[in-house]
Amino acid sequence: MSPKKKTKKHRSLFSRVTIIFILIAAGCFALYVAYLDKVILRKFDGKRWTLPAVVYARPLELYAGLSLSPNQLIKELKLAGYRNEKQKLTPGGYSQTAETVHLVTRDFYFPEGLQRSMNISVTFSGNKIKNISRTDSGENVSIARLDPARIGSFHPKQHHEDRIVLTYAELPEQLIKTLLAVEDQNFYSHRGLSPKSIARALWANIRAGKTVQGGSTLTQQLVKNFFLSNQRTLRRKFNEAIMTLLLEAHYSKQEILTAYANEIFLGQDGARAVHGFGLASQFYFKRDLKDLSASQTALLVGMIKGPSYFDPRRHPKRAQSRRQLVLSIMRDRSIIDDNTLQQALASSLKESTMTTSGFNRFPAFLDLVRRQLRNDYREEDLTNDGMRILTTLDPHVQWQVEEHLGESLKNLRQSTGNKDLEGAVIVSSRESAEILAVAGGSRPLQASFNRALDASRQVGSLIKPALYLSALENKYTLATAVDDRSITLTNQGEKNWKPQNFDRKEHGRVALYQALAQSYNLATVRVGLDVGVKKIIQTVNKLGIDRAFPPYPSFLLGASSMSPIEVSQMYQTMATGGFYIPQRAINCVFASDNTLLNRFGLSVEQRFTPESMYLLNTALQHVVSEGTGKTLSRFIPASFKIAGKTGTSNDLRDSWFAGFSHDKLAVVWLGRDKNKPSGLTGASGALVAWAKIMRSLSLKPLQLTEPPGILWSYVNPVTLEKSNRFHPQSIKLPFLQGTSPNPINSEPRPPYNQLKKPIKSFLEKLRSLFN
């Protein structure tokens, strides 16, 4: 074969191989494009964003006569993201003149439906609301419910992206025009890639000798942020170009623009990433996007280039310079006029720098909310579906708890020398069992060990009311004589147990109510053994503690461990008069479209008779008036008739106080995480913190509801025999019908020698007149 023919044959073979190679490459490219297309369709047609559940405090309801100061109202308005506006008020704005606060509420969905914005004026008289009226008409308003404060959100563990998803119709025209003027002027004419923009950016970068301008279109930016990583590689750029073309082929310009407006990263709120113009508007300006001014719109659009670099809080000069540039572009494109430009250029950045974090402001309370939600919802429901959760948190109560717990711990650390002293607090509504505040430690903003929920510590004498309740249901009365004398218990194969009183003394024969009031251990053990340890454990379970306890005699003196939240539930059942109401931190749950999913109403079960609970709660009032809790009167007047109980564990390791007024119940625990002695009794530690917290709240004096069948009698607390009101030492106690030693309504005339001295003296003088 001639060389010419050989060459021709080789060329033909090479051509065939080249064609085959090209076909294979084209096929692989087509398959890869099909794969990318599938990725786009799957993610863009499905759930585009994982939306965290948003958690709100309880809505503040205003009415005439409510105990609330103007400063308290304004503090709560600020927590809810309200702005202090000096000119015309808009939704989410307020102003104050003398004793009146003017405000405009925001639309909000409640279980009853959408509540529209209201423009109202709230007039105060001292620290109470005097009157509420509509600002425009002057018409009186009987009750005004404010939109609640956002206090946190639940994010997936992998990331903390947050956003408010908007539709295209909710994007203001001014924002759209400004965004396109700055980021992509040819958005509506290109098909995803803009050769002109790329060439213009390339030339600008060559002239500057560095990267000063990008050539990416809005669609390219969306693809990079939504589908790809931030790696600067040729492969990523290749994928970006292909996916940009595919995205433009499948979706309209409106859909792409809307997705971009919701996806774009615009700042950082601690661990929470602020995405989208909707959330950024709330985060930086506390306004809905539709209410932004030209200068505010310019700032947000300008931050796209570098949210951290142009952060108005950390770099105000950079942010202002960037904002001025965007405003100039807005004027050049006739988006704003000269007058608006001048006003915008003169406006301050101050409002955008005074942001309030909406990321888990009260982590201990949110921890409780999350745990209660897990009873009904999966974890992915809480972190992906954008649910809205209305809770029972009362911000004013929470702030008082944080302030006074911190102050008390600071003082007690100094007095005891224990620098690691910690504490926990639970405050709830006495009637509804709604939890109003939770403190898990001395650092309320730190999401660390939540002692209110997880610190399982010996409760000491806090267990005694359950024991005495069992006794009252077992033929004991408040005046039953019990022996406070030494006792030794022998357990086969174990060391003898010989309990002691706190003062190391015996007090002999005392009344049952005195044994509880003075927290006598010896009398308590004797009563407990008579009633039966297992019976008392059953009472503790009925009070709301859902766990098993070993029936050891030491259980009678609180050797068992509970968390503050468990103690709170136990005392809640006492405070409600024997009705078990599960404590709850949630009012209702909405879907992301504001559909009501669940409303957590009251669940009430009567577990004890009102009569026995009335006797017990009367005895708990004696604890405070004359027993181990009597120092409470240094902080709260005795007229409030608080019922409560101190608790101290062995070696002063734990300090407890649980008590309630007519409207609020609170439990306080103080101790050291390593379970070392704290140097505090219940009265010298937890009671002090409890008192400081509760006196800062608007408490109502406790008025126990006396059930039918209760009779009152006078008893001599020394002899424990029947007495009368004329005896100087007699005390009046309630009894169940048929158990009273001396009913008041059948009380005999007292002997002459028992009359009080003034009366006796008067009768003697009267007698002398006739002698």
Q: Scan for tokens 């405000």, then name that residue.
A: 103
Please state, as a whole number, how many other Cβ atoms lie within 10 Å of the Cβ of residue 24: 10
Q: What contacts 199, CB < 8 A, 6 or more positions away?
A: 215
How many Å apart are CA 612 and CA 614, to the nearest integer?
5
Does residue 442 carry a catalytic annotation?
no
Is 713 part of the annotated catalytic residue set? no
Candidates 359, 340, 362, 351; CA nearest to 287 is 351
Nearest to 658 by CA among 673, 672, 668: 668
Contact present, 712 and 744 (Cβ < 8 Å)? yes
Instruction: Answer for the pair 172, 301: CB distance below 8 angstroms, yes or no.
Output: no
Strand-by-strand arrangement of the 596-599 sheet: 150-154, 53-56, 388-391, 586-590, 596-599
Nearest CA-CA partner of 258 in 164, 160, 153:
164
Helix (H/G/I), strand (E/B), else coil: 91? coil
750 contacts 763 by C-beta, under 8 angstroms: no
Q: What are the start-end ranges of the H helices in 276-394?
A: 276-285, 294-303, 316-332, 338-346, 350-353, 363-373, 379-384
- Residue of 320, 368, 366, 373 lying closest to 347 (CA atoms): 320
Angle CA(271)–CA(277)–CA(281) in degrees, nearest 5? 80
HSE-up (13 A, CA, CB side) for residue 146: 30
Among 668, 730, 718, smallest CA distance to 693 is for 668
Among the options 161, 183, 248, 263, which is catalytic?
183
Of the candidates 558, 546, 553, the residue with the CA atom closest to the CA atom of residue 466: 558
Q: Given the residues 194, 442, 461, 713, select the one marked as catalytic.
A: 461
Cα separation, 46 vs 747, in Å, equals 81
**Helices and strands per DSSP (H, E), number in the chain:** 24, 30
Nearest to 583 by CA among 606, 560, 566: 566
**Beta bridge partner(s), residue 722:** 715
**Alpha-helical segments (H) within 532-582:** 533-542, 564-575
Long-range (24+ apart) CB contacts under 8 A made by 314-319 are: 316/349, 316/353, 319/349, 319/352
Residues designated as active site: 183, 461
